[in-house]
Amino acid sequence: MIMSASGFPSLALGCFLLALAVAPHVVHGSSRGLTPGGGAVAPPASAAGLCASGITIHGYQCQEFDVVTKDGYILSVQRIPEGRAGGGSTNKQPVFIQHGVLADGSAWLVNSPEQNLPLILADNGFDVWIANGRGTQFSRRHTSLSPANPEFWDWSWDELAAFDLPAVFDLIHGKTGKKVHYVGHSLGTTIALASLSEGKLVDKLQSVALLSPVAYLTHVTTALGIVAARSFLGEVGSLIGLAEFNPVSKPVTDFLEALCARPGLDCYDFLTAFTGPNCCLNVSTADLFLTNYPQSTSMKNLVHLSQTVRDGGLTKYNYEIPSTNMMHYGDASPPVYNLSNIPHDVPMFLSYGGLDSLADPKDVQLLLDSLKLHDVEKLTVQFVKDYAHMDFLMGVNAKDIVYTQVLSFFKNQH
């Protein structure tokens, strides 16, 4: 059964928050190895891991890895080395799949194996790697800091672009010896564009697929989006002193209730109001999705996203005090990510929706304008008229509309 998000407010609330998103030990036939990017020994993960909870239960082999970023965060990474049928070539091309904000790698797995992108890729002969960003349920670890320490949460998506993506790319390239295909959704596209614009990843990248690409947020025009962004920037009185944005904590729920009390805001239908009218979400999938979401991120990360809405450009985190910016950047203003610096021969696939309120078509056009010098033979663009933000991640027809195009794009890269 497919229905609009307005039919279940709990999904709407969850997705609003989401939008603001070594030798392996083999599971099912599993193990966890630590690959240090920072040279420290990680404590064991407290949870069983994504392999056991979302992959091997469907009959796929899965391997658990930990990788340490250069700033000490210990990230959980899963590898699906082959399809459910097993066998096939051992010379498979690796694909790295990255989630958005307030989500983790399991967000890609809420649909059935026949409908979700990681398992479709595995069944089509790819070596699939799923990352879980810092602060999420399987990556709440650091070589020296506890999540209870505010310093653990002193980061924004700048650090995801500078440290998390390179660490996972290094892991995959080191294990396979091959260049890597990349798939990102939402913030997973933002950090890839930012990282590539600074010359990172390029030597290990085969191609990149960006679903609901978010680089500019100039046209976030919904009342809910504007008020939420302004609230994070200037009216966070109840949240001052919080480093972690934990969506189920009392200070955060009180903040959200106060936000919803404002005149003219309809919090019953958060999903449509914030991400656009998603056409193709399944009720049972939504229920499964909400067993794990939304997840924690840093307050600094949400403030950074809000600055992007306010300022219209793609820049590093703005400390708002010129002398502090000067200390961090050597300039009174934060540096701009110049997307025209992305190498013009990187094969890129962009897919965006006509009804997406976060990756608004006008903002995607600004992104395309910044890529106007890109080799036209290396840039593939898909426009899906009826899709909004979450359809690319959980739409029941995403396999036929989007994922088949991603598969074809990857298979055409040599």
User: How many Å apart are CA 181 and CA 97, to the nearest integer?
Assistant: 9
Spatial CA neighbour of 407 closest among 382, 374, 387: 382
Q: Is the dihedral of CA 339, 344, 348, 352 positive or negative?
A: positive
Residue in 30, 186, 298, 351 annotated catalytic: 186
Q: Where are the beta strands (DSSP E) in 156-296?
A: 180-185, 205-211, 244-245
Helix 250-260 and helix 223-234: axis angle, to 10°? 130
Query: How many Cα atoms sit within 13 Å of 233 on the Cβ side?
Result: 18
User: How many Å apart are CA 180 and CA 172, to the nearest integer?
Assistant: 8
Decide if 311 is catalytic.
Answer: no
Burial class (CB within 10 angstroms; exposed 0-12, middle 13-18, buried 19+) of 180 = buried
Residue in 142, 219, 374, 389 annotated catalytic: 389
User: How many Å apart are CA 274 and CA 3, to the nearest integer?
Assistant: 17
Q: Which residues pair with 185 in a beta bridge?
A: 211
- The pair phi, psi for residue 182, each rounded to 5°, is -125, 135
> What would the two tokens of residue 186 be?
């939402």
Residue in 127, 356, 360, 363 annotated catalytic: 356
Burial class (CB within 10 angstroms; exposed 0-12, middle 13-18, buried 19+) of 23 = exposed
> 76: left (phi > 0), else alpha (psi -120 to 50), else beta?
beta
CB atoms within 10 A of CB 55: 30
> What would the two tokens of residue 158 be?
């700048």
CB atoms within 10 A of CB 102: 28
- DSSP 3-state assignment of 207? strand
User: How many Å apart are CA 130 and CA 234, to the nearest integer?
Assistant: 35
Contact 180, 278 (CB under 8 A): no
Decide if 186 is catalytic.
Answer: yes
User: How many Å apart are CA 265 and CA 261, to the nearest integer?
Assistant: 7
CB atoms within 10 A of CB 405: 16
Decide if 356 is catalytic.
Answer: yes
| Residues assigned a catalytic role | 186, 356, 389
